[in-house]
Amino acid sequence: MFEEGLGEPVVNFTSNRMTAVVRSGLGITSDNLLDFLLKPEIKLGTSTPVADPSGTYAWQIFDKANQITPGSSQILKDKALQLVGGNPNAPIVPNGKNNLVYFLEETKQADIFLAYYTSGKTAQATKGGDNLQIVELPDYLATKANYGLTTLKNADPDGEKLAEYILSQEGQEILTKYGFSAPSTSVPEHQGAGGILLAVCIGLILHKKQILVKK
């Protein structure tokens, strides 16, 4: 949008990271995570690549694993159960149920689920999820998601105020409370963060959209 002259420069307003959310009692750590992922008996859950960024990040993790253990990328892609994120064949999660709690603790359809850190925190705070473990990915698998923010030119002033609030100290504290990382927090370069920059257009811009459509 910025390059097309439609908005202001995109700024990184927060970040997230991929983690392994693990059902209780498996004894998984960052150090042995890849070994567990490759075990035939371990059921691995992911979101759906392409249809959902979290699934795409999971596939990036598999490709990184291949650099450590050749052949592991295809093994992991073949065994990954795409349980959420737009897969039409995914099991239906009952209304009101948290996806991770449902698949890891209730139905045990997965032993490990590659998911955002924020999703893991939400699952732990959900009824039945207090025993779930969030395992940080080792350096060689670490994958970060950066989120960008922009305001469209001539957007409603309230939209600009919202953008300013998100970038303010108070707005950043709210994001941190829910597990997001400050924009300055980064995955070391050698880890190949490779996150997709999500440009979030902030503002009440319906009128502006209508003008663009007419053009």
Ramachandran quadrant class, 113 (left: phi over 0; alpha: psi -120 to 50; beta: rest)? beta
- Give the CA distances from residue 202 to residues 5, 164, 165, in Å, rounded to whole numbers and listed in that order: 16, 10, 11
Q: What is the pLDDT along the chain (215 residues), one digit of tens a residue?
A: 556 666 778 889 999 999 999 998 899 999 999 999 999 999 999 999 999 999 999 999 999 999 999 999 999 999 999 999 999 999 999 999 999 999 999 999 999 999 999 999 999 999 999 999 999 999 999 999 999 888 888 778 888 899 899 999 999 999 999 999 987 544 433 333 333 344 444 443 334 443 343 33
How far apart CA 17 and CA 38 sit, in angstroms, is 21
